[in-house]
Structure 1
Amino acid sequence: MSLRVNEKIPFHLIHQMMKKAIPEENVKFSKEAKILMQECATEFISFITSEAVDLSRKSKKKILQTENILQAMENLGFDNFIEPLIIYYSRLKHFFETEKEKKNQNENQNENQNENQNQNQNENENENQNQNQNQK
């Protein structure tokens, strides 16, 4: 299952990934090397995805799951990638859970601040009304 030409990983992303993989700043990549890497990355993703989708369909699931991808990689002989991917996935999942908790805490703090502001505003309005009544 190959992707069509317009479905390749964007060239600038390939270049960024290649630069990040090499710690030496003075390394340059030829256009041909970047094109070849683009082809390799795109084909690799297509290959794994195709197998994972087949596994998902066999188990009568409509949503491709992490387990399908890991099983596909094992089936296709990429066993050495599985453990690092599990570790990465675990860290990624923890990161998103932490971010969600932070967001919820911020939302709760904002709600509490708004409630306090509203309460203070109501108290001030009541005080002003009482002062106005006392002045009359």
Structure 2
Amino acid sequence: MESMDIVGKSKEDASLPKATMTKIIKEMLPPDVRVARDAQDLLIECCVEFINLISSESNEVCNREEKRTIAPEHVLKALEVLGFGEYIEEVYAAYEQHKIETM
């Protein structure tokens, strides 16, 4: 049986915009570095899987707190639970910056 998410789409349907991801990958690397298309595809798949992992754990944290809406605090706790605690400060700073930029 195919795994389904809450809105009825399979995980295989989940993706990120390839052009956007390619741009991000290129921005993170020195200009003289080339990335094979297969490597780009693999990086994109890793990003999708990471988002699935964080989303799932955030949902678990939310459910344990008997809440119905995943809040930023749930995402931060999920990072900690999954062993990404060293990123919490940077993620929180990015979140705060995002709030300022979208006001």
Q: Classify the TM-score, shorter chain.
A: 0.7 to 0.9
Residue of structure 2 equivalent to 1:72: 78
* 1:30 matches 2:41: no
* Structure 1 counterpart of 2:74, one-letter code: N
TM-score norm. by structure 2 comes to 0.84
Residue of structure 1 equivalent to 2:97: 91
Q: How does 1:1-136 map to 2 (within 5 A)?
A: 4-22=11-29, 24-97=30-103
* Structure 2 counterpart of 1:68, one-letter code: H
- Percent of residue pairs identical: 26
Structure 2, unaligned stretches of length 5 or more? none
Structure 1, unaligned stretches of length 5 or more? 98-136
* Cα displacement (A) at 1:4: 2.2
* Cα displacement (A) at 1:10: 2.2
* Structure 1 counterpart of 2:45, one-letter code: E
* Structure 1 counterpart of 2:91, one-letter code: L
Greater per-residue helix proportion: 1
Aligned with 1:77: secondary structure?
coil
* Cα displacement (A) at 1:95: 1.7
Question: How large is the RMSD of aligned CA atoms in angstroms?
Answer: 1.8
Q: Distance in 1 between matches of 2:24 and 2:50?
A: 15
After TM superposition, the runs of 4+ consecutive aligned structure 1 residues lying more than 6 A away are none
* Cα displacement (A) at 1:76: 0.5
Tell me the matched-pair count.
Answer: 96
Residue of structure 2 equivalent to 1:133: none
Deviations 1:36-90 (A, max 9, x none): 1011101101001100001111112111100000000000100111000111111
